[in-house]
Amino acid sequence: MSLWVDKYRPTSLGKLDFHKEQAAQLKNLVQCGDFPHLLVYGPSGAGKKTRIMCLLRELYGAGVEKLRIEHQSIVAPSKKKIEINTIASNYHLEVNPSDAGNQDRVVIQELIKTVAQSQQIQSSTQREFKVVLLTEVDRLTKDAQHALRRTMEKYMATCRLILYSTSTSKVIGPIRSRCLAIRVPLPSTEEVCSVLTSVCKKEGLLLPPELAKQISEKSGRNLRKALLMCEACRVQQYPFSVDQDVPETDWEVYLRETANAIVSLQTPQRLMEVRGRLYELLTHCIPPEIIMKGLVKELLSNCDGHLKTEVSHMAAYYEHRLQLGNKAIFHLEAFVAKFMAIYKKFMEDGLDAMMF
């Protein structure tokens, strides 16, 4: 527990650093006793999980923090054995069904049902329901989501679900309508800065506000990343200097270089090089959506204003295909080639216009 991220993570709703209104609302929600299913969503590094854990603590007390990892094995109807890890306390169970891949429906059907069906023995001293925390709901297959619908209604008396995802777009409507959706937005730059400063203060360090601002911008307001960056800065050099360069994640640097390579030359050979780089990114476990997003971001900042709409349109088009297809590299490369074509045409037109 020695990373700052872990060390200074708030553990109760009252101690949360930002979105305090929402925290208060959650507190009220717990106190009024009528606790619904929740769907917590928001970009990564906004503090969704922290918020959920605080909420659980509010519900059940400190006992919820005594966690243990359990290895469960479920036998699918097809006699296939599925191994899955769950994290559980006495009061709740955390599962990532998408770990089971295509068999996630079985996990939903078997695991959650068994938990949901069991009643709490002493309902006088504790709450009458358990909580099942499902992570990465957006990666669930449609089958699994449909399997979830009935379970959610049927075992309402004994079990509440907290679904957790980065976006709701892949969660089917029926599930969304059964949950109270809670969006956890990213903290603002100021909020990130204040968190960084307070953490440094607790560590007995002095963080110059300029550096804090720089870190928060570089991290894209992702608080987890910001804290890690800050700590990495601390490891790199202390006392902090204002113009210290903030370490970045490698893949972002690599992606930026790729985008630059695309803009600087548009030939099939270059496309071949870019393909190699895209493969590299994919094999480093970077999801293709994120590569696409990063590419578009970098390319847009590099190209002319006239092209921006078209480029973003193309990006949306190819991202959609990417979601439908299977081989991400085809679609990524198709986008890159399309961008190259558009960009080249634009540049040549510009040249012609200059000459005449």
Partner 1 sequence: MDEYEELFGIQDDFEEQFADELEVLAQMEEESSKLEKRRGPGDNISDIEHLLDDQPPTTPKAKRHKQDTGVAKRLFNASQLQERKVPSQNDDITPPSSPENYEPSNTFRSTPAVLDISGFAAIPETPRRPPTAAPASLRVLKRPPLEGEYISVTDSSGSRVYLRQKEDTGTKVVDSRMVPNSLGGLGLLAVPIGVLREQEAEKRHQQVVEESQRLTELLTSSVNDVLVEPESEENEDPEDAEGRASRLWVDRFSPRHYTELLSDDFTNRCLLKWLKLWDTVVFGRERKSRPARSDRPAANQNSFKPNQGNQNQNRFKTKVEITEEILEAELDQYKRPKFKVALLSGPPGLGKTTLAHVIAKHAGYNVVEINASDDRSAEVFQKRIDTATQMKSVLGANERPNCLIIDEIDGAPSAAINILLAVLNRKDGHGGEAATETAKKKKKKESILLRPIICICNDLYVPALRPLRQQAFLLNFPQTQPSRLTQRLAEISQRQGLKADTGTLMSLCEKTDNDIRSCINTLQFLHGRGLKHLDNKTIQCVSVGQKDQNKGLFHLWQEIFQLPRIKRKRIGEGFEETPGSGGGAQRFQHILHLALSSGEYEKVSQGLYDNYLSMRVRDPNLHSVCEALDWLSFSDRVNQEILHGQNFSLMRYLPFLSVTFHFLFAHTHVPRINYPHSQHEASTRLLSSRNALSTMLADIPAGIRTRISQLSLTLDILTLLLDIICPKLRPVNPQLFSTREKEQMHELIDTMLAYNLSYRQDRTPEGQYTYVLEPRVEEVVRFTGLPPRRQLTYQAKQTISREMEQEKMRRAEQLMLQRNPAVKEKDKQEEKKIAGPKPARNHQQRLENIVKQTTVETRPEVDFFGRAVAPKPQRPQPSSDTGEKSAVLAMGTAVGNSDVWFRFNEGMSNAVRRNVYIRELL
Tokens of 337: 């080639």
Tell whether residue 94 is a contact of partner 1 (CB under 8 A).
Answer: yes
Stretch that binds partner 1, among 25-33, 117-125, 188-196, 340-348 (CB under 8 A): 340-348
- Residue reference for tokens 């429906």: 105
State the nearest-atom distance from the C-beta of 257 to partner 1, in Å. 8
Nearer to partner 1, 324 or 353 (CB): 324
Q: Which is nearer to partner 1, 216 or 222 (CB)?
A: 222
> What is d(CA 311, CA 317) in angstroms, rounded to the nearest whole number?
10
Instruction: Decide whether 68 or 79 has the Cβ nearer to partner 1.
Output: 68
What part of residues 204-233 is at the interface with partner 1 (CB under 8 A)? Answer: 222, 224-225, 228-229, 231-232
Give the residue with the Cβ less far from partner 1, 24 or 232: 232
Strands 180-183 and 81-88 come out as unpaired
For residue 329, which of 262, 278, 255 has the smallest C-alpha distance? Answer: 278
Site for partner 1 in 289-328 (CB under 8 A): 290, 318, 321, 324-327
Total interface residues for partner 1 by CB under 8 A? 71
- Interface residue with partner 1, options 6, 21, 34, 352 (CB under 8 A): 6
DSSP conformation letters of 47-92: SHHHHHHHHHHHHH-GGGG--EEEEEEEE-TTS-EEEEEEEE-SSE
- Side-chain-side CA neighbours of residue 124 (13 Å): 0
Residue from 18, 26, 38, 45 touching partner 1 (CB under 8 A): that is 45
Q: How far is the CB of 177 from partner 1 (least distance, A)?
A: 26
Find the shortest distance in angstroms from Cβ 356 to partner 1.
Answer: 20
Which of these segments, 15-23, 123-131, 180-188, 266-274, binds partner 1 (CB under 8 A)? 266-274
Our CB check for partner 1 shows the closer of 9 and 127 to be: 9
Spatial separation of the C-alpha atoms in residues 354 and 337, rounded to whole Å: 25
Q: To which H or E segment does residue 93 belong?
A: strand 92-95
User: Closest by alpha carbon to 189, among 229, 216, 224?
Assistant: 216
Q: Considering only residues 234-253, where is the footprint of partner 1 by CB under 8 A?
A: 235-236, 247-251, 253
Interface with partner 1 in residues 154-183 (CB under 8 A)? none
Check residue 264 for interaction with partner 1 (CB under 8 A): no
Give the 3-state DSSP-derived string for 135-198, with helices as H, strands as E and coil as C: ECHHHCCHHHHHHHHHHHHHCCCCEEEEEEECCCCCCCHHHHHHCEEEECCCCCHHHHHHHHHH
Q: What's the closest the beta carbon of residue 33 comes to partner 1, in angstroms?
A: 26
Of 87, 172, 181, 347, the one binding partner 1 by CB under 8 A: 87
Task: Quote the least distance from Cβ 178 to partner 1, whole Å.
Answer: 24
Peptide bond into 247 cis (omega under 30): no
86/343 Cα distance (integer angstroms): 49
Tell me which residues in 129-148 interact with partner 1 (CB under 8 A). Answer: 135-136
Question: Please, which residue, 76 or 342, has the CB nearer to partner 1?
Answer: 342
Running DSSP on this structure, what letter comes out for residue 3?
A: S
Among 49, 113, 183, 293, the residue binding partner 1 under the rule CB under 8 A is 49
In angstroms, the CA 340 to CA 335 distance is 8
Which one of the spans 110-118, 121-129, 169-177, 278-286 is the region binding partner 1 (CB under 8 A)? 278-286
